[in-house]
Amino acid sequence: MFKNRSLLVVVILSLVLLALMVTPRPKENSRQFAEAYADYRQMREVSSWSR
């Protein structure tokens, strides 16, 4: 098991984002992607604070 649960969350999110970036997506999904990326950035900042 991971000692740092937030690290596991960041790894999973980055893998999902990588899959989103690799797969071609229609224009309407790009806004959703931008929101997901903003959430990911925020979570990375929060996880870096907790270290």
Task: Note the pLDDT tens digit of each residue in 1-47.
Answer: 557 888 888 888 888 888 877 776 566 667 777 888 888 888 888 77
What pLDDT does 21 receive?
76
pLDDT at residue 23, rounded to an integer: 72
Q: Where are the beta strands (DSSP E) in 1-51?
A: none
The pLDDT of residue 40 is 86
Looking at per-residue confidence, does 1 or 50 come out higher? 50
Q: Are 9 and 47 in contact (CB under 8 A)?
A: yes
